[in-house]
């Protein structure tokens, strides 16, 4: 349950942060409203599970984030852009704090000295990828929306992936240089049998190698432009991101 709460906080933080960087002048208010309701559901689930799984009173953070997301959805429904963006930022900050607290408390420990930064990057990778897929769907509701909005979001996702890859690769090299066992999150084949090796391979193939390839394919598809095909590719990218990050959390915790 601790791993699930940790993942929900990370995922919610990534989705809320993606809304913050999405240009409100180019994307309809309805998109923000609907996606804040998605974050509301994730934060509420995290708070309910966190009553038992989190340290005392920590569940208040995702609960407050759920309240902020609800108020933000009302603001976007009324097309109050300034208020809507403020609540998006508040939701992102609350869920980022919850992610850091859960990580520090040891819900999903990640060795290697990377601290909460690794957890926040993990949430951004997942959240931005799913956000891109949802934004691609929105072109069906707003066909006149500029294609470069989705392209810039994919670029941001690739930048976050690059930061995460550098962090993981750096930790792996440092562990090898110290002749210490490398953690499964870092892609090291620790002496834990073929199951661990298979999960490590899945982590690398899905989250660290396959994801950027899929994101780049979606970006190139937008040059046609074909938003529906790009969205289909982003569907697969979502699976790769979620699978990669969940596998990383599981291996790090064990």
Q: What is the pTM of this model?
A: 0.87
* pLDDT band at residue 192 using 50, 70 and 90 as cut-offs: low
First to last CA, the chain: 14
The pLDDT of residue 137: 92
Lowest mean pLDDT among 127-136, 142-151, 170-179, 182-191: 182-191
CA 92, distance to chain mean position in Å, is 11
- Residues 78-87 have a mean pLDDT of 94
- Tell me the domain boundaries of the chain: 1-108, 110-254
DSSP state of 205: I
Q: Is the pLDDT of residue 191 over 50?
A: no
* pLDDT band at residue 136 using 50, 70 and 90 as cut-offs: very high
From the list 66, 68, 69, the residue with the least C-alpha distance to 44 is 66
* pLDDT band at residue 117 using 50, 70 and 90 as cut-offs: confident
Max Cα-Cα span within the chain? 59
* pLDDT band at residue 102 using 50, 70 and 90 as cut-offs: confident
What average pLDDT does the structure give for the chain?
86
Q: Is the pLDDT of residue 196 over 90?
A: no
Cα–Cα distance for residue pair 254/245, rounded to 1 Å: 14
In the numeric block, which tokens belong to residue 160?
């976050």
Q: How many helices (H) and strands (E) does the chain have?
A: 9, 0
Q: Is the pLDDT of residue 70 over 90?
A: yes
Cα–Cα distance for residue pair 166/148, rounded to 1 Å: 27
The pLDDT of residue 132: 95
Q: How many Cβ atoms from other residues are within 10 Å of residue 64's Cβ?
A: 19
* pLDDT band at residue 168 using 50, 70 and 90 as cut-offs: confident
Q: Is the pLDDT of residue 43 over 80?
A: yes
Q: Is the pLDDT of residue 233 over 70?
A: yes
Lowest mean pLDDT among 158-172, 173-187, 240-254: 173-187
């Amino acid at each position: 349950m601790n791993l699930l709460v940790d993942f929900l906080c990370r995922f919610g933080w990534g989705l809320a942060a993606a809304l913050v960087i999405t240009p409100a002048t180019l994307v309809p208010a309805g998109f923000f409203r609907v996606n804040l309701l998605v974050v509301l559901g994730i934060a509420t689930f995290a708070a309910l599970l966190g009553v038992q799984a989190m340290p005392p009173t920590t569940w208040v953070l995702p609960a407050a984030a759920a309240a902020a997301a609800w108020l933000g959805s009302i603001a976007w429904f009324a097309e109050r852009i300034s208020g809507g963006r403020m609540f998006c930022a508040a939701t992102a900050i609350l869920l980022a704090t919850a992610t850091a607290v859960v990580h520090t408390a040891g819900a999903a420990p990640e060795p290697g000295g990377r601290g909460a930064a690794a957890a926040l990057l993990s949430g951004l990778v997942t959240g931005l990828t799913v956000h891109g897929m949802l934004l691609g769907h929105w072109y069906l509701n707003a066909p006149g929306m500029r294609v470069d909005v989705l392209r810039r979001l994919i670029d941001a996702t690739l930048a976050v992936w690059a930061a995460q890859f550098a962090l993981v690769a750096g930790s792996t090299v440092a562990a090898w240089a110290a002749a210490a066992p490398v953690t499964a999150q870092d892609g090291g084949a620790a002496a834990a049998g073929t199951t661990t090796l298979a999960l490590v391979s899945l982590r690398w193939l899905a989250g660290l190698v396959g994801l950027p390839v899929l994101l780049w394919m979606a970006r190139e598809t937008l040059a046609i432009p074909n938003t529906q095909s790009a969205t289909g590719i982003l569907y697969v990218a979502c699976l790769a991101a979620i699978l990669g990050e969940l596998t990383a959390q599981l291996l790090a915790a064990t």
